[in-house]
Amino acid sequence: MRVVAAMSGGVDSAVAAARMLDAGHEVVGVHLALSQSAATLRESARGCCTIEDAGDARRVADRLGIPFYVWDMAQRFKEDVVEDFVAEYEAGRTPNPCLRCNERIKFAALLDKALALGFDAVATGHYAQIVGGPDGRELHRAVDPAKDQSYVLGVLTADQLARSFFPLGDTAKPQIREEAAARGFAVAKKPDSHDICFIADGDTKGWLTGRLGAQPGPIVDTDGEQVGEHEGAFAYTVGQRRGLGLKVPRADHAKRYVVDVQPRTNTVVVGTEELLGVDVVRGDHLRWCGTPPAGEASYGAQLRAHGEEVPCRASTDGTTVTVRLDHRVRGVAPGQSVVLYDGTRVVGSATITSTGRSTSRPL
């Protein structure tokens, strides 16, 4: 099988490419140039797409003896991931750029180009497993729960899974580094990159302000009393506690959190902790990793990349999904994704449009 190995320049994609070669596939390494102004050197472990990363990927490819190319997808990444990220925050939602990158870049643009050039599949260094099932290939959690990335792959369709390989899903991360060292890869001890890759210093608020400009507005409590000011509602997300700079404390000195962001009025609403818990989640932009479910059924719901899995009942009308959680979960915001699981199998995902509370159950 002719396979494109997506090589980011990190240890995971390096070992993934090597394992595909060991399995007898014809492998070509491809590094995606996603930045329109790649820095010469990495500034931090958060950064990506630097010239240093491309060089690291090329050295691994050379050691493996496989062809290596750099594919420029910077404009596509800018439009489909970065600009989408800004637009979502501006609209008062909290996006996950890794899901968008997987959906629109790595398993749409990359896979489509690979197939157009005559390749059969794409392999990446994601920690997840593909398992044969009665209805075709299934996406499952990785064996290493600390590194499992099935949540950010919940946007993949059955057709995309049929053309994808995740060679690391059956191995824990420490063993991957040991394997890389044994293979003589210089990236064996290279630090992992972290979200959000295009905000190298991790200052999301400052990054958004630099693109949208300061937009001063009120911070109010749930009674409508102004208790502070902000420089842009887009920089706040439901569940946030730090960095609020509130000027009017509560009489009982209880901690306050962001409970709502209202972009139309440029208002941030804060309240006490008990207001954060929700047990009903609704979403659209449905993506099923296999046959779409019918009717209502029991699943596990994961609401953030490193969040717990919550038992739930979910039903869909084909356009939207309603998820009723067994207990309340804090800090769930529109724009985030809910991924449904049946055991370790990923059923699919949806983008959260609204949340609510159906009962008086406690947090």
Residue 86: C-alpha distances to residues 162, 209, 266, 333 (Å): 32, 10, 15, 16
3-state secondary structure of 140: strand
Element (H, E) at 208: helix 204-212
Task: Give the separation between CA 322 and CA 131, rounded to whole angstroms.
Answer: 27
Q: Tokens representing 205?
A: 């608020």
**Phi, then psi, of 234 in degrees rounded to 5:** -60, -20
3-state secondary structure of 118: coil
Task: Give the separation between CA 122 and CA 4, rounded to whole angstroms.
Answer: 5
Distance of CA 181 to the CA centre of its chain: 28
Task: Give the separation between CA 240 and CA 303, rounded to whole angstroms.
Answer: 16
Pairing of strands 267-271, 309-316: unpaired
Contact 179, 167 (CB under 8 A): no
- Phi-psi label, residue 15: left if phi above 0, alpha if psi -120 to 50, beta otherwise: alpha
3-state secondary structure of 362: coil
Q: Which residues pair with residue 32 across a beta bridge? A: 71
Active site residues: 101, 197
Task: Give the separation between CA 320 and CA 264, rounded to whole angstroms.
Answer: 24
Task: Give the separation between CA 19 and CA 161, rounded to whole angstroms.
Answer: 18
